[in-house]
């Protein structure tokens, strides 16, 4: 560290020492923080398994007698994760014979149906699909 009060110190030397000290502090601060990639991976990992069903979707599951197995829930979560990694906001996720419309940012299943309920095969208001 340069003592800027020392006789013979030029303005250029003092300025270079100031910049060097500031850069060191910024590097130390960024080393202490998690990288964006680490935070994103942690957020995705934390939110996996936390998919929620809207009231409408819950009613559809109940009315249509649809019960999801653990394996199907894992596939649904994986589909939502894949959609999120591609920047999809509202997605169709097809798991086995079941179709789900999911709002990805909210991890919310908006509606659900089984293949026999979907006679038209037309899905609106989605910007992507994941077929598992």
Give the fold, CATH level 3, of 51-131. Answer: YaeB-like fold (3.30.2310)
pLDDT category at 122 given cuts 50, 70, 90 is confident
| Rounded-to-integer distance, Cα 14 and Cα 12, Å | 5
Please report the pLDDT score of residue 39 as a whole number. Answer: 63
**pTM of the predicted model as reported, rounded to 2 decimal places:** 0.62
| Rounded-to-integer distance, Cα 28 and Cα 18, Å | 16
The per-residue pLDDT of the chain, averaged, comes to: 80
pLDDT category at 1 given cuts 50, 70, 90 is low
Q: What is the per-residue pLDDT across 85-112, written as a single tens digit (0 to 9) for each?
A: 999 999 999 999 899 999 999 999 999 9
Give the chain's end-to-end CA distance (angstroms, integer). 60
| Rounded-to-integer distance, Cα 127 and Cα 99, Å | 15
Q: What is the per-residue pLDDT across 30-49, written as a single tens digit (0 to 9) for each?
A: 544 556 666 666 665 555 55
């Amino acid at each position: 560290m340069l003592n800027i009060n020392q006789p013979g110190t030029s303005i250029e030397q003092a300025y270079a020492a100031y910049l060097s000290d500031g850069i060191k502090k910024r590097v130390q601060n960024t080393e202490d923080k998690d990288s964006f990639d680490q935070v994103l991976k942690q957020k995705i990992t934390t939110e996996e398994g936390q998919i929620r069903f809207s009231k409408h979707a819950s009613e559809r599951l109940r009315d249509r007698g649809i019960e999801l197995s653990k394996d199907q829930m894992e596939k649904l979560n994986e589909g939502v994760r894949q959609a999120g990694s591609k920047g999809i906001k509202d997605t169709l996720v097809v798991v086995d014979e079941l179709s789900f419309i999911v709002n990805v940012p909210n991890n919310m299943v908006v509606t659900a149906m089984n293949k026999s309920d979907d006679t038209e095969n037309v899905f609106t208001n989605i910007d992507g699909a994941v077929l598992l």
